[in-house]
Structure 1
Amino acid sequence: MKKAKIKVAIFMIMAAVSGIIMVLGCTQDEMTDLNSNQYDIWNLEEEADTEFMPLNSVPEWIKDKVTKKEYEAWVRLSSRYEIDYSVLSLDLTESQKKDLYQYIDTLYALSKDSADGKSVGCFTVVTQSVFKRIETLSNPEVGGETHGVTDEQVVYHAIGKTDVYVKATIDYTLNSSKDEILKASPNVFTEGAAAESFNGSYNANILGRGVELNCSGSLTYELSDGSERSDSFNKKVNFFIFGV
């Protein structure tokens, strides 16, 4: 009788282990599907607190990540835009690099005659939200167009509070060759427990594979002593969107 119980117990343990392996195998297959894309969508998730460097500021570590020609492109753009360089911490494909530096050259050419030594705005590279990406994989779009929404990006960081932001996402539609944005619609919102409201206006302009977000208004939030503070701001952020 004891031997029978032992056999049953061993069988149940083996079945449980087998079930775990099956679950892990299924998860690995799903991850393989995600990672089979031309770049690793997970690694392109941006940090919540995007850091835009001041004009004419190119971090030293970038020299080890790019060629001399690419570095010169960043130096030129930094004379016009405050830049988020986080995309350069990733291993970009040659195709991604080509698209990115073509856009940088275009952006610089369009801005150099109107800058007057002042910041034209901010520049960052974004991609489709990982959650939206999973949805797209499960339900492929029909008709060749790609619909997506970018990850959240910081537009404005409150002066008197470290964890209060105005953020934005961009809903967009790419053409069938994924080299042009056909439609773009911004969503602007506040984040942070102390955030109370954002009052203002915003709009988006399409520029090839990029979207220029213009956002102005006031962010109201609560300080540590219970009082309120309102920051007024006027921000322009240019989003370059990688095709998916």
Structure 2
Amino acid sequence: MKKAIIAGFALLIIGCLSNGCESPDELEFSEIVQTKTSIKQSDIAPIGSIPEWVKSKVSSDIYAKLEIMSTCCRIDYSFLREDISPERWKDITFAIDGICKEIKIGNISLDHPIIFSVASENVTDSFQTIERLGMLEKGCVGRSKQIELFTSKYGPVLYAIIDYVYNTNTKAVSDIEGEVFLAPLSTGQNASFNGKARAFHLSNNTIQITCNGKLSITDKNGTLLYENVNVDVHFVP
């Protein structure tokens, strides 16, 4: 299979995402990104669906809020497959409450759906941030989050990886880097994406990622399919 690439891709990245950083610098760059083969499978559910196993992992109150969110959110339930500390649950609940409020006032709806995801509390100090920054300050850890951005009729095809430094004391986020990449398709199919992405911090302790552009897929018969991508992701860092 030929390698699919993202041609002319522009990714906007916030240079400072800490709380109180009112006017963060943005770094824009363009590069060609190869298709990645090492992709972690997610537990992202379609709108209107909650996996049966989720009910035993959360309280009745949280489950009721997930039901509200599922009406117009694709939720990645991967975070529920690991142990979550009480302090971490406070962050997650705060973000969930914020999204439920946005749904209530109509800012998030079926016309403007989102993807909701939570970074793993246990994935720390294990990626290129350490190589890039060297020794981190006390209380700071490196975190990485892979997010499924878009699913075509051929399956999940567009992903993002966000790497950043998280201060466990202040809950501030800094030194964020990221990339958007394509998943490998079946033999004989090729894909490319031309677009842009942006990440920024929200007041409800989430990072928002927007990704817009055009996805092109050539199937086994040589037919070219175009799909517009307009994705809004909220994830708890």
Asked if 1:158 corresponds to 2:152, the answer is yes
Per-residue deviation, 1:135: 6.7
Residue 240 (1) aligns with residue 236 (2): yes
Where does the alignment leave 5 or more consecutive residues of structure 1 unmatched? Answer: 1-45
Amino acid at match of 1:216: N
Specify the alignment match of 2:26 in structure 1: none
Q: CA RMSD in A?
A: 3.2
The residue number in structure 2 matching 1:103 is 95
Gaps of 5+ in 2: 1-38
The amino acid across from 2:140 in the alignment is T
Instruction: Say which is worse superposed, 110-119 or 150-159, in terms of deviation.
Output: 110-119
Answer yes or no: is 1:54 the counterpart of 2:50: no
Shift of the alpha carbon at 1:168?
A: 0.2
What is the match of residue 225 of structure 1?
221
**Letter matched to residue 225 of structure 1:** N
- Counterpart pick for 1:192 among 184, 193, 200: 184
Q: C-alpha distance in 2, partners of 1:87/1:59?
A: 13
Name the CA distance, whole Å, in 1 between partners of 2:43 and 2:212. Answer: 18
Greater fraction helix: 1
Q: Radius of gyration: which is bigger? A: 1
**Partners of 1:77 and 1:146 in 2: CA distance:** 31
Identity over the aligned pairs, expressed in percent?
23
Distance in 2, Cα, partners of 1:134 & 1:234: 28
Counterpart for residue 113 of structure 1 = 105
- The reply to whether residue 124 of structure 1 matches residue 120 of structure 2 is no
Higher strand share: 2
Letter in structure 2 aligned against 1:190: L
**TM-score scaled by length of structure 2:** 0.67
Contact 2:127 2:142 in 1 (8 A): no
Q: Does structure 1 conserve the Cα–Cα contact (< 8 Å) formed by 2:190 and 2:219?
A: no
Q: Is the 8 A contact 2:215 2:228 kept in 1?
A: yes
Aligned length: 193
Which deviates more from structure 2 when the two are superposed, residues 93-102 or residues 72-81? Answer: 72-81
The aligned amino acid for 2:116 is F
The answer to whether the 8 A contact 1:48-1:153 is kept is: no
Deviation, structure 1 residue 199: 0.4
Q: CA deviation at 1:214?
A: 0.7
Instruction: Establish whether residue 202 from structure 1 lines up as the match of residue 197 from structure 2.
Output: yes
Q: What TM-score results when the alignment is normalised by the length of structure 1?
A: 0.65
Q: Does 1:68 align with 2:60?
A: yes
Question: Residue deviations 1:205-237, cap 9 Å, x none?
Answer: 212542111111111222122333222121111
Amino acid of the structure 1 residue aligned with 2:162: I
